[in-house]
Amino acid sequence: MRIRIGLSMFTLLLMASCGSRSDAPTPVPSPSPTPSAQDSQPAEDAGPDTPDGPTNSDTAPELPTTGNLPSTIQTPPPADEKDSTTAADVASLDADQLVARLQDANDRDVVTRQLVNLGAAAVEPLVGALKSDNWEIRASAVFCLGQMGAAARPALPQLQEVAKSDENPAVRDAAAFAIDALEGKNNQP
């Protein structure tokens, strides 16, 4: 069914580009089951697919089986060293250094996981990050606090303030979710 629709659309587009105004599709002649005299005749000396044209007008030109890819299809450039931050890269950093690395969007996922793993040692620096001018840093700090569980309960008053008054609705929503997580309200059965 999908192929039929695709071919019908192709046919309509082809007809429109050729200037056909008929609503009915142009019938495509089916190949003859018996070979014609033209098919049995040897091709002239022009050779296969020369500038003079193909030797047999009934055959489609062959597509190359090897060669260069079109310029629109390219492999991505090699990853930059900055893009490949791993947990081992941040394992030796303390909580203050990790919170400072939340600035870098390339590091944010790895740093966030490490902050959550630090638990209570990261709460104070994360509470400080709730005052950042960058909403993504505030949201990351809220996420970390929400994922820490009981270790982050001392941050509940600051999270409640963020949930009420942060300028960014995504940060407010994340803070409300983190509060629910710390209070045990959004546990899955």
Higher pLDDT, 44 or 175: 175
Is the pLDDT at 119 greater than 50? The verdict is yes
Angle at 22 between CA 16 and CA 24, to 5 degrees: 105
Distance CA 186, CA 149 (A): 12
So what's the pLDDT on residue 105?
86
Is the pLDDT at 68 greater than 80? The verdict is no
Q: Tell me how far the alpha carbon of residue 169 is from its chain's centroid.
A: 24
Higher pLDDT, 139 or 83: 139
SS3 102: coil
**Nearest in space to 138 (alpha carbons), one of 169, 114, 110:** 169
pLDDT band at residue 15 under the 50/70/90 scheme: very low
SS3 24: coil
Domain boundaries, the chain: 86-182
The length of the chain, given as a count of residues: 189
So what's the pLDDT on residue 92?
86
So what's the pLDDT on residue 86?
79
Taking only the tens place, the pLDDT of each residue in 124-178 is 999 999 999 999 999 999 999 999 999 999 999 999 999 999 999 999 999 999 9
State both tokens at 17.
């580009």
8 A C-beta contact, residue 152 and residue 182: yes
86-182: CATH topology is Leucine-rich Repeat Variant (1.25.10)
Taking only the tens place, the pLDDT of each residue in 90-103 is 888 899 999 999 98
Q: Please give the C-alpha separations between residue 45 and each of 40, 50, 52, 60, 99, in angstroms, as whole numbers.
A: 15, 10, 10, 19, 77
State both tokens at 169.
């609705």
Output the pTM of the full model.
0.55
Per the listing, tokens 């001018």 go with 133
So what's the pLDDT on residue 63?
55
Across residues 16-35, what is the average pLDDT? 51
Higher pLDDT, 183 or 56: 183
φ, ψ of residue 50 to 5 degrees: the values are -95, 175
